[in-house]
Amino acid sequence: MPNLSQLLTSKSSAEYRRVFELCRDISSELDSVDGVYVVGGIVRDLILDRTPGDIDLSVVGNAKTFSQELASRIGAATPDESQFLTFKIRTSGIFSDVSSIDVVTARAESYADSAALPDVSVSSIDDDLKRRDFTVNAMAISLAGSDWGTLVDPKNGFGDVMRKRIKVLHDASFVDDPTRIFRAVRYAVRLGFNLDSRTNELISKSLPNIDRLSGTRVRNEFELVLSEPNRVEMLRMSEEIGLLAAISPGLRIGTKALQVLSDQSEQEVASTELPDLLAITTFGLNEDESKQVVQRFDAPPAWGESITGNAQLAKHVAVLDQPNLAPSEVSDLLRAIPLASISAYILAGPPLPRRDKLVEYVEKIRFIKPEITGDDLLEIGIPQGPIIGQLIDIVRRAKLDGKVSTKQEEIDLAKSRLPGFLTK
Ligand code: ATP
Protein backbone atom coordinates (compact mmCIF):
# COMPACT_ATOMS: atom_id res chain seq x y z
CA MET A 1 0.00 0.00 0.00
CA PRO A 2 1.42 3.44 -0.87
CA ASN A 3 1.94 5.82 2.00
CA LEU A 4 0.47 9.27 1.54
CA SER A 5 1.56 10.81 4.84
CA GLN A 6 3.14 13.51 2.74
CA LEU A 7 -0.33 14.58 1.57
CA LEU A 8 -1.60 14.75 5.14
CA THR A 9 1.16 17.02 6.24
CA SER A 10 2.32 19.08 3.29
CA LYS A 11 -0.73 19.33 1.01
CA SER A 12 -3.36 20.19 3.60
CA SER A 13 -3.89 23.45 5.41
CA ALA A 14 -3.04 23.93 9.10
CA GLU A 15 -6.67 23.31 10.10
CA TYR A 16 -6.91 19.99 8.27
CA ARG A 17 -3.55 18.98 9.70
CA ARG A 18 -4.69 19.78 13.21
CA VAL A 19 -7.78 17.59 12.80
CA PHE A 20 -5.75 14.73 11.30
CA GLU A 21 -3.24 14.87 14.16
CA LEU A 22 -5.98 14.95 16.78
CA CYS A 23 -7.52 11.88 15.12
CA ARG A 24 -4.19 10.11 15.38
CA ASP A 25 -3.84 10.98 19.09
CA ILE A 26 -7.42 10.07 20.00
CA SER A 27 -7.34 6.77 18.13
CA SER A 28 -4.24 5.70 20.04
CA GLU A 29 -5.90 6.60 23.36
CA LEU A 30 -9.33 5.00 22.88
CA ASP A 31 -9.53 1.20 23.26
CA SER A 32 -12.95 1.20 21.61
CA VAL A 33 -11.49 2.51 18.35
CA ASP A 34 -9.65 0.13 15.99
CA GLY A 35 -9.01 2.51 13.13
CA VAL A 36 -9.68 6.04 11.91
CA TYR A 37 -9.56 7.06 8.25
CA VAL A 38 -10.09 10.20 6.26
CA VAL A 39 -12.31 9.04 3.39
CA GLY A 40 -14.11 9.91 0.20
CA GLY A 41 -13.89 13.18 -1.70
CA ILE A 42 -11.24 14.72 0.52
CA VAL A 43 -8.74 11.94 -0.33
CA ARG A 44 -9.45 12.40 -4.04
CA ASP A 45 -9.02 16.17 -3.68
CA LEU A 46 -5.77 15.86 -1.70
CA ILE A 47 -4.33 13.61 -4.43
CA LEU A 48 -5.48 16.05 -7.11
CA ASP A 49 -4.10 19.00 -5.15
CA ARG A 50 -7.54 20.62 -5.17
CA THR A 51 -8.89 22.51 -2.18
CA PRO A 52 -10.78 19.81 -0.30
CA GLY A 53 -14.29 20.29 1.09
CA ASP A 54 -15.41 19.33 4.55
CA ILE A 55 -13.79 16.43 6.35
CA ASP A 56 -15.29 12.93 6.22
CA LEU A 57 -13.93 10.42 8.70
CA SER A 58 -14.68 6.74 8.96
CA VAL A 59 -14.15 5.05 12.31
CA VAL A 60 -13.77 1.32 12.78
CA GLY A 61 -15.18 0.92 16.28
CA ASN A 62 -17.01 3.36 18.50
CA ALA A 63 -17.58 6.42 16.30
CA LYS A 64 -19.78 8.10 18.90
CA THR A 65 -17.11 8.23 21.64
CA PHE A 66 -14.52 9.15 19.03
CA SER A 67 -16.55 12.04 17.62
CA GLN A 68 -17.37 13.37 21.11
CA GLU A 69 -13.71 13.36 22.04
CA LEU A 70 -12.70 15.06 18.78
CA ALA A 71 -15.42 17.70 19.21
CA SER A 72 -14.30 18.44 22.74
CA ARG A 73 -10.63 18.80 21.77
CA ILE A 74 -11.37 21.30 19.02
CA GLY A 75 -13.83 23.20 21.20
CA ALA A 76 -16.96 22.28 19.23
CA ALA A 77 -20.39 21.40 20.60
CA THR A 78 -21.42 17.78 21.15
CA PRO A 79 -21.84 16.20 17.69
CA ASP A 80 -25.34 15.73 16.25
CA GLU A 81 -26.20 12.12 15.63
CA SER A 82 -27.87 12.01 12.22
CA GLN A 83 -28.52 8.80 10.35
CA PHE A 84 -27.30 5.40 11.40
CA LEU A 85 -24.19 5.90 13.57
CA THR A 86 -23.21 9.12 11.81
CA PHE A 87 -22.06 12.14 13.81
CA LYS A 88 -21.66 15.69 12.63
CA ILE A 89 -19.25 18.08 14.35
CA ARG A 90 -20.01 21.68 13.46
CA THR A 91 -16.83 23.70 13.16
CA SER A 92 -17.90 26.96 11.54
CA GLY A 93 -16.84 29.73 13.91
CA ILE A 94 -13.90 27.56 15.02
CA PHE A 95 -12.27 26.85 11.67
CA SER A 96 -12.33 28.94 8.51
CA ASP A 97 -11.59 26.17 5.94
CA VAL A 98 -13.78 23.47 7.42
CA SER A 99 -17.43 24.00 8.35
CA SER A 100 -18.15 20.48 9.54
CA ILE A 101 -16.58 17.11 10.19
CA ASP A 102 -18.72 14.05 9.46
CA VAL A 103 -17.76 10.98 11.41
CA VAL A 104 -19.31 7.71 10.26
CA THR A 105 -19.04 4.23 11.65
CA ALA A 106 -17.40 2.06 8.98
CA ARG A 107 -20.34 0.16 7.53
CA ALA A 108 -21.50 -2.14 4.78
CA GLU A 109 -24.67 -1.36 2.84
CA SER A 110 -27.03 -3.57 0.90
CA TYR A 111 -30.00 -2.65 -1.26
CA ALA A 112 -33.09 -4.78 -0.75
CA ASP A 113 -34.91 -2.78 -3.38
CA SER A 114 -33.70 -0.64 -6.27
CA ALA A 115 -33.64 3.09 -5.51
CA ALA A 116 -34.66 2.55 -1.88
CA LEU A 117 -32.44 3.64 0.99
CA PRO A 118 -29.89 0.94 1.89
CA ASP A 119 -29.80 -1.49 4.82
CA VAL A 120 -26.73 -0.72 6.88
CA SER A 121 -24.51 -2.82 9.17
CA VAL A 122 -21.28 -2.09 11.05
CA SER A 123 -18.24 -3.42 9.18
CA SER A 124 -14.61 -2.93 8.09
CA ILE A 125 -12.97 -0.05 6.22
CA ASP A 126 -12.83 -2.18 3.06
CA ASP A 127 -16.59 -2.76 3.17
CA ASP A 128 -17.10 0.92 3.93
CA LEU A 129 -15.24 1.82 0.74
CA LYS A 130 -17.02 -0.79 -1.35
CA ARG A 131 -20.44 0.78 -0.60
CA ARG A 132 -19.38 4.04 -2.25
CA ASP A 133 -20.30 5.51 -5.60
CA PHE A 134 -17.15 5.78 -7.72
CA THR A 135 -13.61 4.41 -7.51
CA VAL A 136 -12.17 7.91 -7.10
CA ASN A 137 -14.34 8.36 -3.98
CA ALA A 138 -13.61 4.90 -2.61
CA MET A 139 -10.23 5.61 -1.04
CA ALA A 140 -9.23 6.17 2.57
CA ILE A 141 -6.05 7.32 4.27
CA SER A 142 -5.33 5.93 7.71
CA LEU A 143 -4.87 8.44 10.52
CA ALA A 144 -3.92 5.90 13.17
CA GLY A 145 -0.39 6.28 14.57
CA SER A 146 0.69 2.77 13.58
CA ASP A 147 -0.10 3.18 9.87
CA TRP A 148 -0.46 6.93 9.52
CA GLY A 149 -0.75 7.87 5.85
CA THR A 150 -1.44 4.37 4.47
CA LEU A 151 -3.75 4.49 1.48
CA VAL A 152 -6.61 1.98 1.45
CA ASP A 153 -7.75 1.66 -2.14
CA PRO A 154 -9.57 -1.62 -2.84
CA LYS A 155 -10.94 -0.44 -6.22
CA ASN A 156 -7.87 1.30 -7.65
CA GLY A 157 -9.30 4.78 -7.26
CA PHE A 158 -5.76 6.16 -7.36
CA GLY A 159 -5.30 4.78 -10.87
CA ASP A 160 -8.60 6.29 -11.95
CA VAL A 161 -7.67 9.69 -10.53
CA MET A 162 -4.50 9.50 -12.61
CA ARG A 163 -6.49 8.43 -15.69
CA LYS A 164 -9.12 11.13 -14.97
CA ARG A 165 -11.92 8.61 -15.04
CA ILE A 166 -15.26 8.32 -13.24
CA LYS A 167 -15.98 4.65 -12.84
CA VAL A 168 -18.60 2.82 -10.78
CA LEU A 169 -17.56 0.05 -8.41
CA HIS A 170 -19.91 -2.58 -9.84
CA ASP A 171 -22.53 -3.05 -12.56
CA ALA A 172 -25.58 -2.72 -10.28
CA SER A 173 -24.46 0.64 -8.87
CA PHE A 174 -26.98 2.85 -10.69
CA VAL A 175 -29.74 0.31 -10.14
CA ASP A 176 -29.08 0.35 -6.40
CA ASP A 177 -29.00 4.12 -6.32
CA PRO A 178 -29.95 6.08 -9.45
CA THR A 179 -28.98 9.39 -7.78
CA ARG A 180 -25.43 8.29 -8.62
CA ILE A 181 -26.17 9.22 -12.25
CA PHE A 182 -26.44 12.85 -11.16
CA ARG A 183 -23.33 12.44 -9.06
CA ALA A 184 -21.42 11.01 -12.06
CA VAL A 185 -22.29 14.12 -14.09
CA ARG A 186 -21.29 16.44 -11.26
CA TYR A 187 -17.93 14.78 -10.66
CA ALA A 188 -17.08 14.40 -14.35
CA VAL A 189 -17.65 18.10 -15.01
CA ARG A 190 -16.32 19.42 -11.72
CA LEU A 191 -13.08 17.47 -11.93
CA GLY A 192 -12.74 17.59 -15.72
CA PHE A 193 -12.83 13.76 -15.87
CA ASN A 194 -14.41 11.42 -18.42
CA LEU A 195 -17.01 8.79 -17.76
CA ASP A 196 -15.43 5.38 -18.15
CA SER A 197 -17.01 3.61 -21.13
CA ARG A 198 -18.67 0.81 -19.15
CA THR A 199 -20.01 3.38 -16.66
CA ASN A 200 -21.43 5.34 -19.57
CA GLU A 201 -23.19 2.22 -20.87
CA LEU A 202 -24.57 1.45 -17.43
CA ILE A 203 -25.92 5.00 -17.16
CA SER A 204 -27.78 4.65 -20.45
CA LYS A 205 -29.30 1.37 -19.33
CA SER A 206 -30.20 2.69 -15.89
CA LEU A 207 -31.91 5.94 -16.91
CA PRO A 208 -35.40 4.41 -16.55
CA ASN A 209 -34.56 3.84 -12.85
CA ILE A 210 -34.71 7.59 -12.31
CA ASP A 211 -38.49 7.06 -12.32
CA ARG A 212 -38.16 5.11 -9.11
CA LEU A 213 -36.75 8.05 -7.17
CA SER A 214 -39.12 10.24 -5.16
CA GLY A 215 -39.75 13.80 -6.33
CA THR A 216 -37.81 15.14 -3.36
CA ARG A 217 -34.71 13.09 -4.15
CA VAL A 218 -34.71 14.10 -7.83
CA ARG A 219 -35.27 17.72 -6.84
CA ASN A 220 -32.36 17.65 -4.37
CA GLU A 221 -30.04 16.25 -7.02
CA PHE A 222 -31.15 18.80 -9.60
CA GLU A 223 -30.67 21.60 -7.10
CA LEU A 224 -27.13 20.39 -6.40
CA VAL A 225 -26.38 20.61 -10.13
CA LEU A 226 -27.79 24.15 -10.26
CA SER A 227 -25.73 25.23 -7.27
CA GLU A 228 -22.40 24.22 -8.87
CA PRO A 229 -20.24 26.89 -10.52
CA ASN A 230 -19.96 24.61 -13.60
CA ARG A 231 -23.71 24.12 -13.91
CA VAL A 232 -23.84 25.04 -17.61
CA GLU A 233 -21.59 22.13 -18.54
CA MET A 234 -23.45 19.86 -16.14
CA LEU A 235 -26.82 20.75 -17.66
CA ARG A 236 -25.43 20.27 -21.14
CA MET A 237 -24.05 16.86 -20.21
CA SER A 238 -27.29 15.89 -18.44
CA GLU A 239 -29.17 16.71 -21.61
CA GLU A 240 -26.69 14.79 -23.82
CA ILE A 241 -26.81 11.59 -21.79
CA GLY A 242 -30.62 11.71 -21.58
CA LEU A 243 -30.80 12.51 -17.87
CA LEU A 244 -33.04 15.57 -18.24
CA ALA A 245 -35.56 13.65 -20.35
CA ALA A 246 -35.41 10.80 -17.84
CA ILE A 247 -36.49 13.21 -15.10
CA SER A 248 -39.48 14.40 -17.14
CA PRO A 249 -40.01 13.90 -20.89
CA GLY A 250 -40.40 17.61 -21.65
CA LEU A 251 -37.44 18.76 -19.57
CA ARG A 252 -34.67 20.12 -21.77
CA ILE A 253 -32.34 23.06 -21.71
CA GLY A 254 -32.81 25.36 -24.69
CA THR A 255 -29.91 27.00 -26.49
CA LYS A 256 -31.09 30.44 -25.36
CA ALA A 257 -31.13 29.37 -21.71
CA LEU A 258 -27.66 27.84 -22.07
CA GLN A 259 -26.46 31.04 -23.68
CA VAL A 260 -27.81 33.17 -20.82
CA LEU A 261 -26.19 30.93 -18.21
CA SER A 262 -22.89 30.78 -20.10
CA ASP A 263 -22.81 34.58 -20.39
CA GLN A 264 -23.08 35.05 -16.63
CA SER A 265 -20.12 36.70 -14.98
CA GLU A 266 -18.34 34.90 -12.15
CA GLN A 267 -20.14 37.11 -9.67
CA GLU A 268 -23.55 36.38 -11.24
CA VAL A 269 -22.81 32.66 -11.18
CA ALA A 270 -22.23 32.89 -7.45
CA SER A 271 -25.14 35.17 -6.65
CA THR A 272 -28.05 34.05 -8.86
CA GLU A 273 -30.84 32.81 -6.61
CA LEU A 274 -32.52 29.46 -7.14
CA PRO A 275 -35.91 30.81 -8.39
CA ASP A 276 -34.10 32.78 -11.11
CA LEU A 277 -31.99 29.78 -12.07
CA LEU A 278 -35.05 27.57 -12.31
CA ALA A 279 -36.87 30.09 -14.48
CA ILE A 280 -33.89 30.41 -16.84
CA THR A 281 -33.24 26.66 -16.96
CA THR A 282 -36.85 25.84 -17.85
CA PHE A 283 -37.28 28.77 -20.25
CA GLY A 284 -39.08 27.63 -23.41
CA LEU A 285 -41.04 24.76 -21.85
CA ASN A 286 -44.72 24.91 -22.73
CA GLU A 287 -47.51 24.86 -20.17
CA ASP A 288 -47.99 21.08 -20.14
CA GLU A 289 -44.28 20.37 -20.02
CA SER A 290 -43.73 22.74 -17.12
CA LYS A 291 -46.67 21.31 -15.18
CA GLN A 292 -45.25 17.81 -15.65
CA VAL A 293 -41.83 18.96 -14.45
CA VAL A 294 -43.36 20.58 -11.37
CA GLN A 295 -45.27 17.40 -10.62
CA ARG A 296 -42.19 15.22 -11.11
CA PHE A 297 -40.17 17.35 -8.71
CA ASP A 298 -43.04 17.32 -6.23
CA ALA A 299 -42.11 20.97 -6.20
CA PRO A 300 -42.84 23.32 -3.30
CA PRO A 301 -44.67 26.55 -4.31
CA ALA A 302 -41.51 28.64 -4.82
CA TRP A 303 -40.12 26.06 -7.28
CA GLY A 304 -43.46 25.51 -8.97
CA GLU A 305 -44.07 29.19 -9.63
CA SER A 306 -40.64 29.75 -11.16
CA ILE A 307 -41.13 26.83 -13.53
CA THR A 308 -44.74 27.44 -14.60
CA GLY A 309 -44.40 31.24 -14.63
CA ASN A 310 -42.55 31.19 -17.97
CA ALA A 311 -45.43 29.59 -19.87
CA GLN A 312 -47.91 31.83 -18.04
CA LEU A 313 -46.00 34.90 -19.22
CA ALA A 314 -45.50 33.56 -22.75
CA LYS A 315 -49.29 33.39 -23.19
CA HIS A 316 -49.81 37.13 -22.70
CA VAL A 317 -46.47 38.80 -23.34
CA ALA A 318 -47.16 39.76 -26.99
CA VAL A 319 -49.69 42.36 -25.74
CA LEU A 320 -46.71 44.33 -24.43
CA ASP A 321 -45.59 45.06 -28.01
CA GLN A 322 -48.60 47.34 -28.48
CA PRO A 323 -47.63 51.02 -28.53
CA ASN A 324 -49.17 53.47 -26.03
CA LEU A 325 -49.87 50.87 -23.39
CA ALA A 326 -50.57 52.60 -20.06
CA PRO A 327 -48.34 51.62 -17.13
CA SER A 328 -51.44 50.38 -15.28
CA GLU A 329 -52.14 47.98 -18.16
CA VAL A 330 -48.55 46.71 -18.03
CA SER A 331 -48.98 46.20 -14.32
CA ASP A 332 -52.32 44.39 -14.76
CA LEU A 333 -50.65 41.97 -17.12
CA LEU A 334 -47.56 41.27 -15.04
CA ARG A 335 -48.60 41.50 -11.41
CA ALA A 336 -49.50 37.84 -11.10
CA ILE A 337 -46.37 36.59 -12.90
CA PRO A 338 -43.40 35.56 -10.72
CA LEU A 339 -40.56 38.05 -10.92
CA ALA A 340 -38.13 35.22 -11.73
CA SER A 341 -40.06 34.43 -14.94
CA ILE A 342 -40.13 38.08 -15.99
CA SER A 343 -36.39 38.37 -15.40
CA ALA A 344 -35.80 35.16 -17.37
CA TYR A 345 -37.81 36.52 -20.31
CA ILE A 346 -35.80 39.75 -20.27
CA LEU A 347 -32.61 37.69 -20.56
CA ALA A 348 -33.73 34.90 -22.87
CA GLY A 349 -36.74 36.30 -24.76
CA PRO A 350 -36.70 37.99 -28.19
CA PRO A 351 -35.52 41.62 -28.46
CA LEU A 352 -38.98 43.02 -29.21
CA PRO A 353 -40.57 46.16 -27.67
CA ARG A 354 -42.01 43.91 -24.95
CA ARG A 355 -38.54 43.60 -23.45
CA ASP A 356 -38.41 47.34 -22.64
CA LYS A 357 -41.84 47.10 -21.02
CA LEU A 358 -40.70 44.15 -18.92
CA VAL A 359 -37.60 46.06 -17.83
CA GLU A 360 -39.72 49.12 -17.00
CA TYR A 361 -42.03 46.93 -14.94
CA VAL A 362 -39.18 45.29 -13.01
CA GLU A 363 -37.23 48.49 -12.41
CA LYS A 364 -40.00 51.02 -11.90
CA ILE A 365 -43.67 50.17 -12.29
CA ARG A 366 -43.82 47.44 -9.66
CA PHE A 367 -42.50 49.81 -6.98
CA ILE A 368 -45.11 52.51 -7.54
CA LYS A 369 -47.55 52.44 -4.64
CA PRO A 370 -50.18 54.94 -3.49
CA GLU A 371 -49.36 57.10 -0.50
CA ILE A 372 -52.69 56.44 1.14
CA THR A 373 -53.20 53.33 3.21
CA GLY A 374 -56.27 51.51 4.44
CA ASP A 375 -56.01 53.51 7.68
CA ASP A 376 -56.33 56.80 5.78
CA LEU A 377 -59.54 55.55 4.18
CA LEU A 378 -60.96 54.31 7.50
CA GLU A 379 -60.15 57.72 8.98
CA ILE A 380 -62.30 59.52 6.42
CA GLY A 381 -65.19 57.24 7.32
CA ILE A 382 -65.00 54.50 4.71
CA PRO A 383 -66.15 51.28 6.38
CA GLN A 384 -63.92 48.25 6.86
CA GLY A 385 -64.32 45.62 4.12
CA PRO A 386 -63.28 44.72 0.58
CA ILE A 387 -64.13 48.22 -0.61
CA ILE A 388 -60.90 49.48 1.03
CA GLY A 389 -58.71 47.22 -1.13
CA GLN A 390 -60.69 48.06 -4.25
CA LEU A 391 -60.29 51.82 -3.69
CA ILE A 392 -56.58 51.48 -3.02
CA ASP A 393 -56.21 49.59 -6.27
CA ILE A 394 -58.08 52.31 -8.19
CA VAL A 395 -55.74 54.89 -6.67
CA ARG A 396 -52.68 52.75 -7.44
CA ARG A 397 -53.63 52.45 -11.12
CA ALA A 398 -54.34 56.20 -11.32
CA LYS A 399 -50.97 56.93 -9.77
CA LEU A 400 -49.21 54.61 -12.22
CA ASP A 401 -50.80 56.50 -15.12
CA GLY A 402 -49.88 59.90 -13.63
CA LYS A 403 -53.50 60.89 -12.92
CA VAL A 404 -52.85 61.65 -9.26
CA SER A 405 -49.68 62.82 -7.63
CA THR A 406 -50.34 64.15 -4.11
CA LYS A 407 -51.85 62.34 -1.16
CA GLN A 408 -54.82 64.76 -1.18
CA GLU A 409 -55.49 63.93 -4.83
CA GLU A 410 -55.44 60.25 -3.93
CA ILE A 411 -57.98 60.79 -1.14
CA ASP A 412 -60.18 62.87 -3.41
CA LEU A 413 -60.10 60.18 -6.07
CA ALA A 414 -60.99 57.49 -3.53
CA LYS A 415 -63.91 59.57 -2.26
CA SER A 416 -65.14 60.25 -5.78
CA ARG A 417 -65.26 56.54 -6.48
CA LEU A 418 -67.24 55.60 -3.40
CA PRO A 419 -70.35 53.67 -4.31
CA GLY A 420 -73.48 55.83 -4.05
CA PHE A 421 -74.93 54.03 -1.06
CA LEU A 422 -71.85 54.85 1.03
CA THR A 423 -71.88 58.58 0.28
CA LYS A 424 -75.52 59.12 1.21
P1 ATP B 1 -18.22 17.11 -2.33
O2 ATP B 1 -18.63 17.18 -0.91
O3 ATP B 1 -16.97 17.83 -2.67
O4 ATP B 1 -19.36 17.26 -3.30
P5 ATP B 1 -17.73 14.44 -1.77
O6 ATP B 1 -17.08 13.43 -2.64
O7 ATP B 1 -17.18 14.69 -0.41
O8 ATP B 1 -17.77 15.66 -2.64
P9 ATP B 1 -20.36 13.95 -0.57
O10 ATP B 1 -21.67 14.06 -1.25
O11 ATP B 1 -20.05 14.87 0.54
O12 ATP B 1 -19.26 14.03 -1.70
O13 ATP B 1 -20.20 12.46 -0.09
C14 ATP B 1 -19.10 12.03 0.68
C15 ATP B 1 -18.69 10.63 0.24
O16 ATP B 1 -19.76 9.71 0.52
C17 ATP B 1 -18.44 10.51 -1.26
O18 ATP B 1 -17.11 10.80 -1.57
C19 ATP B 1 -18.79 9.06 -1.53
O20 ATP B 1 -17.70 8.25 -1.21
C21 ATP B 1 -19.88 8.78 -0.53
N22 ATP B 1 -21.23 8.91 -1.12
C23 ATP B 1 -22.05 10.00 -1.10
N24 ATP B 1 -23.19 9.75 -1.72
C25 ATP B 1 -23.14 8.50 -2.16
C26 ATP B 1 -24.03 7.64 -2.90
N27 ATP B 1 -25.21 8.07 -3.33
N28 ATP B 1 -23.63 6.38 -3.14
C29 ATP B 1 -22.43 5.93 -2.69
N30 ATP B 1 -21.54 6.68 -2.04
C31 ATP B 1 -21.88 7.93 -1.76
**What confidence tens digit (pLDDT) does each residue in 94-147 have?**
998 888 999 999 877 777 776 677 777 778 899 999 989 999 999 999 999 889
Q: Measured between alpha carbons, how far is residue 207 from residues 203, 338, 347 in Å?
A: 6, 32, 32
CA gap 45, 184 in Å, rounded:
16
Q: Whose CA is nearest to atom 8 of ligand 1?
A: 41
CATH code, domain with 196: 1.10.110.30
Q: Based on the domain organization, do 61 and 90 belong to the same domain? A: yes
- Is residue 260 a contact partner of residue 280, using CB atoms and an 8 Å limit? yes
Q: Based on the domain organization, do 178 and 145 belong to the same domain? A: no
Q: Whose CA is nearest to atom 3 of ligand 1?
A: 53
Ligand 1: centre distance to CA 40 (Å): 6
- What stretch of H or E contains 410? helix 407-416
Q: Based on the domain organization, do 25 and 105 belong to the same domain? A: yes
Ligand 1: centre distance to CA 41 (Å): 6
- Domain count of the fold of the chain: 4
Q: Based on the domain organization, do 27 and 138 belong to the same domain? A: yes
CA gap 385, 387 in Å, rounded:
5
pLDDT of residue 424: 46
Domain of 112 in residue numbering reads as 5-157
80-81 and 86-90: which strand pairing?
A: antiparallel
State if residue 179 touches ligand 1 by the CB under 6 angstroms criterion.
yes
State if residue 137 touches ligand 1 by the CB under 6 angstroms criterion.
yes
In one-letter notation, the amino acid at residue 202 is L
**Nearest CA to 167 among 352, 158, 420?**
158
Q: Based on the domain organization, do 268 and 312 belong to the same domain? A: yes
Q: Based on the domain organization, do 184 and 107 belong to the same domain? A: no
- Residue 423, classified by CB atoms within 10 Å of its CB into exposed (0-12), middle (13-18) or buried (19+), is exposed
- Is residue 3 a contact partner of residue 151, using CB atoms and an 8 Å limit? yes
CATH code, domain with 52: 3.30.460.10
Phi, psi of 16, rounded to the nearest 5 degrees: -60, -45
Q: Based on the domain organization, do 174 and 241 belong to the same domain? A: yes
Domain end call among 367, 385, 413 = 367
Ligand 1: centre distance to CA 180 (Å): 9
With a cut of 70, list the residues of the chain below it in pLDDT: 1, 114-115, 419-424
Q: Based on the domain organization, do 269 and 211 belong to the same domain? A: no
Domain end call among 103, 136, 157 = 157
Ligand 1: centre distance to CA 57 (Å): 12
Whole-prediction pTM: 0.88
State if residue 56 touches ligand 1 by the CB under 6 angstroms criterion.
yes
Q: Based on the domain organization, do 80 and 199 belong to the same domain? A: no
Q: Long-range contacts: 320-327, Cβ < 8 Å, 24+?
A: 320/353, 320/354, 320/357, 320/358, 321/352, 321/353, 321/354, 323/353, 325/357, 326/400, 326/401, 327/360, 327/365, 327/368, 327/400, 327/401
In one-letter notation, the amino acid at residue 16 is Y
Q: Based on the domain organization, do 266 and 360 belong to the same domain? A: yes
Q: Based on the domain organization, do 306 and 270 belong to the same domain? A: yes
- Decide: helix, strand or coil at residue 60: strand
Out of 37, 97, 137, give the residue to mutate to test ligand 1, the one with the largest number of ligand atoms within 8 Å of its CB: 137
Q: Based on the domain organization, do 281 and 318 belong to the same domain? A: yes
Domain end call among 247, 278, 296 = 247
Q: Whose CA is nearest to atom 16 of ligand 1?
A: 40
